[in-house]
Amino acid sequence: MGASSPKISINSGSRTLDLMKPAVMGILNITPDSFYDGGKFTSEKQILEATEQMLLDGAGLIDIGAVSTRPGASKVSEKEESDRLIPVLQLISRHFPEAILSVDTYRSEIAKEAIAAGGHMINDISGGDMDPNMFKTIAKLGVPYILMHMQGTPENMQNNPQYDDIIEDILGFFNTQLNKLAHLGVHNNIILDPGFGFGKTVDHNFQILKSLKRFTETGFPVLTGISRKSMINRILKTKPENALNGTTALHVIALLNGASILRVHDVKEALQAIELVEYYKMI
């Protein structure tokens, strides 16, 4: 069901991202309605400054999303997603040619456009379920692919999500999708994301966090997207804007349980968590 060891190398020009040590993926939402930073980055100056700061803080990748996938989010047309995304990708790749750019999309046509415009990998929240052409597109493009689990769609995913066994159900989904990709010749350059908050209750999310090593046992690197999410806020009675401390606490647990990539709003703090956990493991 996977490679021999949980690692992946992402090549971007002369730069390679080696996940033998955990990496940080900085979030750049160019949407008006994302749950934490929606509408924050609208001008070229804001976008470039935010990207530069994340890279200076040590981000190994930048994840660019043009469609909000928060619970209850409404659909955005393919044209609107393209109109938002492609100019920003071109802008960032022009100013920061060394950066590795991940593109957050579930549409195969957007994936094609994005890679042509300077993107390097695709982050698909639907794990290939929302566009039947996505896997064929990934196979043809030959780019790294983040395979995420989601129950339902962003519009309805938090309407009473239920599982027989949350861990086994997600592992079963991954196994099915990985077999489809393998049939198309895609065996490597796959990252698994169990999809915290995407069709899960708070208890589901913590069960996934507690059992994260089960996903690393597949042999593929595991990405965790916990940053400032409701699984923190509902326990601590916080809001996204003051959930950094809770985020860091859960990042430490994720790292101790084998996470290879932290997808975050706060790059510097995530890097500090990685440095401390790596030192702790070394002693």
- List residues bridging with 223 in a β-sheet: 261
Angle at 145 between CA 143 and CA 147, to 5 degrees: 165
Residues 6+ apart with CB under 8 A from 259: 22, 212, 222, 223, 224, 251
Question: Catalytic amino acids?
Answer: 229, 263
User: Helical H runs in the chain?
Assistant: 44-56, 78-95, 108-116, 134-141, 166-183, 202-210, 212-216, 230-236, 244-256, 267-282
- Cα 171 to Cα 127, 161, 165, 214, distances in angstroms: 12, 17, 10, 8
CB distance 51 to 96 below 8 Å: yes
Chain-centroid distance of CA 164 in Å reads 25
Q: Checking DSSP bridges between strand 15-18 and strand 9-12, what pairing results, if any?
A: antiparallel
Name residue, tokens 């929302």.
Answer: 130
> How far apart (Å, rounded) are the C-alpha atoms in residues 60 and 19?
10
Count CB-CB contacts under 10 A for residue 108: 22
In 3D, which of 221, 236, 275 has the Cα closest to residue 252?
Answer: 275
- List residues bridging with 61 in a β-sheet: 25
